[in-house]
């Protein structure tokens, strides 16, 4: 009986150490050309942010206010820092 408990605990420990699958996301092009960044930002804004709620107009807030909103929404939308910056680049160009 004691051996079974040890085996179960060992298997549980090994299972907890297994690598977890990486969630695939769309790659974000990091080129500095404005057109590419704007297009990527628009796609992310509509795809990630618009997935859960109606989108506010892009000129509804100042660039500074968008920073606060994006940081607040980032964990909920499950976007990376780079994606957040790309969305902000797009939004700031729409003002």
pLDDT at 65: 97
Phi, psi for residue 27 in degrees, rounded to 5: -65, 145
pLDDT at 93: 93
For residues 37 and 86, is the Cβ–Cβ distance under 8 A?
yes
What is the pTM for the complete model shown? 0.66
pLDDT at 33: 72
How many domains, the chain? 1
pLDDT at 5: 64
Which structural domain range is residue 61 located in?
Answer: 29-93
Residues of the chain with pLDDT under 50: 27, 30
Distance CA 45, CA 67 (A): 13
pLDDT at 53: 94
**Residue 12 within a domain:** no
pLDDT at 34: 81
**Residue 59 within a domain:** yes
Angstrom distances, CA of residue 74 to CA of 57, 66, 71: 18, 12, 5
Distance CA 68, CA 91 (A): 13
């Amino acid at each position: 009986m004691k051996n079974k408990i040890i085996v179960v605990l060992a298997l549980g420990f090994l299972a907890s150490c297994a690598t977890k699958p990486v969630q695939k996301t769309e790659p974000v092009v990091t080129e500095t050309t404005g057109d590419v960044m704007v297009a990527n930002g628009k796609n992310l804004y509509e795809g990630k942010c618009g997935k859960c709620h109606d989108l506010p107009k892009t000129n509804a807030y100042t660039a500074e206010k968008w920073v606060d909103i994006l940081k607040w929404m980032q964990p909920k939308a499950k976007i990376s820092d780079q994606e957040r910056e790309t969305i902000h680049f797009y939004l700031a160009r729409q003002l």
